[in-house]
Amino acid sequence: MRKDIENINDYLTRGHNLTRNIKDIANQKMPPRRFKGKDLSDVTGVTLSRIYMAEKEGRLPAPDVDEVTRRRLGCTMQQVLNIQDYFGTSPGRSVNDEPVVLSFTNFKGGCWKTTTSWYAGSYLASCGYRVLFVDLDPQASLTLNCGILPDFETSHETSLGPFILEEEGYKESLVSNVIHDTYVPNLKIIPSSLQLAGVEYSLSNAISHSRESHENISKRLHWFHRVRDCLSEVKYDFDIIIVDGTPTLGLLPLNIIFASHAVIVPVPTEITDFASTLAFCDLYKEQAEVLYDFFGEKLESPDMLFLPTRFSPSEKNATLGSEFVLDQIRKTFGTSCMQSVIKKHESVVSNLSLMRRTVFDINPGDGNVSREARKKAIANFETVFDEILERVVFPKWSSKKEQLEVQGIY
Ligand SMILES: Nc1ncnc2c1ncn2[C@@H]1O[C@H](COP(=O)(O)OP(=O)(O)O)[C@@H](O)[C@H]1O
Ligand SMILES: [Mg+2]
């Protein structure tokens, strides 16, 4: 036994050193994305000539240029944000609109929940939205993806855990203290730590205690709204908040669901995973029925959208291939199924994960990703996330809704 403990300790020391090295390599090797040409005019919503004129007249700072060739290097995300700010073209909500909370949930692991959350946040940030990630999965993959080393650079105290559990000294008004920067200025994260695993148990104890001491409905309800309440103040610094959780349906995941305006359920286009998604729906229905009997309409449920993932159209050798299952998913979930699907982008996602970046954070040709593969992945993810914006985010923002009504989208 003692030997085993020593061995495991050695594995941990070696493994953690390697993870730290990879982080350092990623930071050195990955230059920031620079927006230029059409990319720059698209993201700022302003023609290049207007931008250049504003720079020339000193209304915007002079552009970064290559020291030797004196050619423009393109704008970093911070410079894009400054340009959007100057011309009033930031895409975010207006001050009267509520920030929108999204989560990607299913109780099966490997449905691409975390990766899709990460790519969604990264895409939205690359458009100029202010995005907050909240990592509530003790495995902390989203935290690691954002370049933060879980349990070295994070702890229970730097996660949302103590706020959720109302530990002494952790008032909701102090949640802003645990918001961490990432590699992009308008993308922040509340990181996770391994100790979040204990939150499920503590929540369950708190609810049992509440029941045994016959506390009133609002006190009991409060334990299902901890995540929502913890975000209630900080959310106003952001346009969109994306919460990542565990592949389970316990009290913490229920808290995530009740904190969300929309829950997006990734459904892999593979038959066993389709069956697990139905089981997920069944379990959620059972739990919702019990909660509804007790709390009635006091517990508001979010919009639910089903997002087909792991789609690989080339795999149509058998009748149970991707396309067949996609058809079943569409027939089952009807209008709640998204039109767009997430395709497999194997080399792009795995090469870039190593560098802790998504396709939206890199320049063409960087990160061991071919220009063609980058372009294809961007086009696919953009279609999916634009559909999410149109279906569940913009309808909550009256300013955007009016714009879309004029365009005939609603
Ligand atoms: N669009 C994609 N194309 C290819 N591989 C992907 C894609 N999205 C995710 N993956 C890979 O699938 C694996 C599981 O994804 P992950 O997001 O961690 O799932 P979950 O959070 O549901 O457990 C990861 O190795 C990830 O790199
Ligand atoms: Mg995950």
pLDDT band (50, 70, 90) for residue 306: very high
> Mean per-residue pLDDT for 24-28?
74
What is the number of the ligand closest to the CA of 109? 1
Lowest mean pLDDT among 41-55, 90-104, 129-143, 215-229: 215-229
pLDDT band (50, 70, 90) for residue 408: low
Cα–Cα distance between 160 and 261 in angstroms, integer? 19
Cα 353 to middle of ligand 1, angstroms: 10
Residues contacting ligand 1 via CB (< 6 Å): 109-115, 141, 247, 342, 344-346, 349-350, 353
Q: For ligand 1, what atom is nearest to the CA of residue 309?
A: 1
The tokens for 26 are 């990623």
Helices (H), 30-140: 37-44, 48-56, 77-87, 113-127
> Mean per-residue pLDDT for 222-246?
96
**Choice from 111, 112, 347, 376 to test ligand 1 binding pocket (greatest atom count within 8 A of CB):** 112
Partners of 395 in the β-ladder: none
> Mean per-residue pLDDT for 281-287?
91
Cα 328 to middle of ligand 1, angstroms: 22
- pLDDT value of position 317: 54
Q: For ligand 1, what atom is nearest to the CA of residue 137?
A: 21
Residue written as token pair 């909660």: 291
pLDDT at 331 over 60: yes
- pLDDT value of position 333: 96
Element (H, E) at 368: none
Q: For ligand 1, what atom is nearest to the CA of residue 106?
A: 22
Element (H, E) at 272: helix 271-295
The more confident residue out of 180 and 275 is 180
Cα 320 to middle of ligand 2, angstroms: 26
Cα 143 to middle of ligand 1, angstroms: 15
**Choice from 349, 353, 358, 378 to test ligand 1 binding pocket (greatest atom count within 8 A of CB):** 349
- pLDDT value of position 301: 87
The more confident residue out of 346 and 27 is 346
pLDDT at 239 over 80: yes
Q: 89-131, pLDDT tens digit by residue?
A: 999 999 999 999 999 998 788 899 999 999 999 999 999 999 9
3-state secondary structure of 327: helix
Distances (CA, A) of 165 to 173, 272, 311: 14, 36, 39
Cα 137 to middle of ligand 2, angstroms: 7
Element (H, E) at 243: strand 240-244
Cα–Cα distance between 401 and 394 in angstroms, integer? 6
pLDDT band (50, 70, 90) for residue 335: very high
Q: For ligand 1, what atom is nearest to the CA of residue 345?
A: 3
* CATH no., domain 100-398: 3.40.50.300
What is the number of the ligand closest to the CA of 112? 1
pLDDT at 318 over 70: no
Closest residue by Cα to atom 20, ligand 1, is 110
Residues 76/160, Cβ–Cβ less than 8 Å:
no
Q: Which of 372, 368, 322, 326 is nearest to 349 (CA)?
A: 368
Q: What residue spans in the chain does CATH classification 3.40.50.300 cover?
A: 100-398
The tokens for 19 are 């993870």
Q: For ligand 1, what atom is nearest to the CA of residue 342?
A: 1
pLDDT at 330 over 90: yes
Q: Which of 271, 331, 80, 347 is nearest to 187 (CA)?
A: 80
pLDDT at 166 over 80: yes
- pLDDT value of position 19: 76
Residues 351/345, Cβ–Cβ less than 8 Å:
no
What is the number of the ligand closest to the CA of 376? 1
